[in-house]
Chains A and B, each alone.
Chain A
Amino acid sequence: MGKKMRIGLLGIVLLVALLTSMTAMGKAKTITFWAMPNADDEIHIPWVEAKAAEFQKKTGVKVNFEVVGWDVAWTKISTAIATGEGADVFQVGTTWNPQLAATGGLEQINIKEFGGEKAFMKANLESTTYKGKYYGIPWFAETRALFYNVDMFKEAGVQPPKTHDELVEVAEKIVKTFGEGSAISLAGTNAWDLLHNWSIILWANGGSLLTKDNKMAMFNNEAGIAAMKWYVDLVAKGFASKACAEYNQPQADAAFINGNVAMCYMGPFNISSIEFQNPTLNYSVVEPPAGPKGKASFSGGSNLAILKASKNKKEAKEWVKFLQEKDTMVEYTKDLTHMLPAQVEVFNDSYYNSGVWKTFKTTLEYSTAYPPLATWGDIENIVQQEFKNVLAEYVNGTYNQNTAKKHLNAAADRVNEALKKEK
């Protein structure tokens, strides 16, 4: 009995060994590439797979492409870093890059291999750095601008605002014509972009998140308090719906895209959702209105990073270079993702000098990236939490003159604490 079973087990073991060795022999070098759903799966996956086939023909390296949702990407990448396996090359959000670099799990990049520092948009290149060294290659960029509903503006008899004060005037007129909450759509406590949206206002007020040496919080100074009040006032004065407090970003965007609200701070990627959900929407895009201290916007996007523990780093770098070739990049940003290229050369394509793209391009040139810190995740969390507390106080009816200051100070204390851990 026992003997038979042992023979059976041995057979199974042999079979498994045979199968694995066969599959191992069957393939040449294979690299695994993770990217987020930057475009609709139906067009995105075939496009990348076609490029991968082209790449394989050229180099003999097979690219195994996997789409990883934004909600799980952070966990998947940090797991890959901890275990040293999973993917050879992957997409990282610009704000993630320094944090992941701090883990020691990303391959340091010699930027000269990829065209040198001058080849990339400044803010995007900065987002790949940690302690002055490069740990990623900018892939594509995005920035925020003010989308407005042309028909609603016409009916209310207003022009697109150029400053914060003008925005308030415009909003007043729109509310008079279309009712409370119809002027602007904002994402509230459930927004992962909450900090981005507020930073734009903060920078335009001459404020800054941290001091220049990145050692101390600075967002709780006068400019910060003014920016926070201005933001909450958009809701308090009835320009934005009170329900915004519980919106996440897609909900806020949807309110604009459905044509219910006249203005919204959005990114270039939203253009595809407009085309998809409400193609008849008559909209246009202007640069974010300037604050008392000038124009500002948020610089985001994604970079490509290589896993330090990968055994195929050379092939991974080749793949990155292949993806960044000018025509490929133009195709990827123009036809698929509706993002902006992070490469200066690609940006010179005539397409980006036309229509709304020109607005985005101009905005991107002066937009700001977050400080490249390992503790950035903590800092972002802390500021968002306190920001949410401000909104929650508003919801609970306990918001007053001192609320913004109180919570910003609380956030600053906690951020300073977190910054002490920065090594």
Chain B
Amino acid sequence: MSQKVAKKTRVIWFVLPALLCMTFVHVIPIIWGAYISFLDLDIYTLAQWTKAPFIGLQNYVQIFTSKFAVGQKYLRSIYTVIIYGLITIPVGYVIGMLVALLLNRKFVGRTLVRGLILLPYITPDSVAYNVWRFIFQARIGLVNKYLLRWGIIKEPVIWLVGERALYPVIISSIWKGWPFACLILLAGLQSIPLELYEAAKIDGASKMQQFWRITFPMLQPVTKTLLVLNAIWNFHAFNQFYILLGSDPGKAHVPSTFIMQEAFKNLHYGRGSAMAVILMLIIMVLTVFSLLVKRGGSHES
């Protein structure tokens, strides 16, 4: 009995450092951040921010009222990030799946090719998106150069400003994101027992039938996890927008870039915190959903 207690206390000693770190690095800042969202904390109250007046839900009212410019922009940024996700995630998934199917067989240099396809994924964001920024620049960019050469456009198109600004971000994000999907799907493919395919062959199933009846259903748990993970990452997309479009992406603002601008550049910390809390709630709902999905997945198998 006493040994058990001793064991338990020892466990606490081992866990304590991590627990303390988590408390100070994650839990307390999150609670502070949420608390700030109820304060009128802006430029006038910054030096004595602990004494900033408590204003209840006013910050939240502002960001959800399209009457205010800030509310309009915040709602639009959420809309933008959803559109962005609805395109990049499925396209990335399909490309990843196609390449994974291609690579899931034996050929000379397979390991090398598998390593190579990971290149976009392992390139640091700052490097990759800066290169993409150059590619999309109007005067010197490769995109315009080729479109002009092929006669698709008559004069250079400006990509990084205005209505079209979301396209470059989507294209470069797909380029950056599909290898991860491919990697995960490839791992999933390798866990499918070969006997299933052999049985299918004997029954005379075509390649297509094999894919839709065996491969795709067997990949479902992987697919679910992948899509939910991507959806979560999607909501706090920041680097690609910030690097490609600058600190003020205009109509292509997403929540993270907008929060950064409102809180840290314009010093409206209260309002910025309220936006961050909403963003966190969205991501939390998605996370809980993902946990449920995962559990569901394991029950099925």
Using a CB–CB cutoff of 8 Å, the interface residues on chain A facing chain B are 1-2, 5, 74-75, 78, 81-82, 84, 99, 102-105, 188-190, 241-243, 245-246, 248, 308-309, 374-375, 377-378, 381, 384-385, 388-389, 391-393, 395-396, 414, 417, 423
Contact = CB atoms under 8 A, between A and B. Distances in A.
B43 A375 contact: yes
A374 B47 contact: no
Nearest to A9: B13
B66 to A, nearest CB: 14
18 contacts: A2-B9, A78-B264, A99-B267, A102-B44, A104-B46, A105-B47, A188-B161, A241-B139, A242-B155, A242-B156, A246-B158, A374-B44, A378-B266, A381-B266, A384-B248, A389-B250, A396-B163, A414-B69
Interface in B35-54: 43-49
A258 B155 CA distance: 23
Interface in B248-299: 248, 250-251, 261, 264-267
Contacts of B161: 188-190, 245-246, 388, 391-392, 395
Contact of A78 (B158, B261, B267): B267
Contacts of B160: 190, 246
Contact of A103 (B46, B69, B164): B46
Contacts of B164: 396
Contact of B138 (A243, A392, A423): A243
Interface in B236-252: 246, 248, 250-251
Contacts of B29: none
A186 B73 CA distance: 28
B10 interface: yes
A378 B251 CA distance: 18
Contacts of B138: 242-243, 245-246
A385 B44 contact: no
A102 B43 contact: yes
Contacts of A81: 46-47
A131 B261 CA distance: 26
A395 B164 CA distance: 10
B265 A74 contact: yes
B189 to A, nearest CB: 42
Nearest to A192: B247
Contacts of B162: 391-393, 395-396
A190 B133 CA distance: 12
Nearest to A389: B250
A192 to B, nearest CB: 8
A70 B162 CA distance: 26
A188 B49 CA distance: 36
Given A381-B265, A395-B158, A395-B162, A99 B246 contact: no
Contacts of B251: 392
A176 B175 CA distance: 42
A385 B43 contact: no
A423 B264 CA distance: 21
A242 B158 contact: yes
A75 B163 CA distance: 30
Contact of B158 (A5, A243, A384): A243
B9 A377 contact: no
For B43, B44, B251, which residue has the most chain A Cβ atoms within 10 angstroms? B43
Contacts of A190: 160-161, 246
Interface of B: 9-10, 13, 43-49, 69, 137-139, 155-156, 158-164, 246, 248, 250-251, 261, 264-267
A84 B48 CA distance: 9
Contact of B163 (A385, A392, A423): A392
A417 B68 CA distance: 10
B43 A377 contact: yes
A391 B248 CA distance: 14
B5 to A, nearest CB: 12
A103 B267 CA distance: 10
Contacts of A74: 264-265
A385 B158 CA distance: 18
Contacts of B266: 377-378, 381
A388 B248 contact: yes
Nearest to B73: A385
Contact of B47 (A104, A189, A391, A396): A104
Contact of A377 (B44, B159, B265): B265
A375 B44 CA distance: 10
Contacts of A385: 248, 250
Given A81-B47, A104-B47, A395-B161, A388 B250 contact: yes
Given A243-B158, A395-B158, 7 more contacts: A78-B267, A103-B43, A243-B138, A245-B158, A388-B248, A392-B161, A392-B250
A256 B223 CA distance: 52
Contacts of B248: 189, 381, 384-385, 388
A99 B161 CA distance: 29
Contacts of B137: 243, 246
| In the complex, the 5 A-B pairs of residues with the closest C-beta atoms, listed nearest first | A392-B162, A243-B139, A105-B47, A104-B47, A103-B46
A377 B155 CA distance: 37
A241 B9 CA distance: 71
B252 to A, nearest CB: 10
Given A104-B47, A189-B250, A243 B265 contact: no
A74 B48 CA distance: 18
A391 B246 CA distance: 15
Contacts of B265: 74, 377, 381
Contacts of A105: 46-47
A105 B156 CA distance: 48
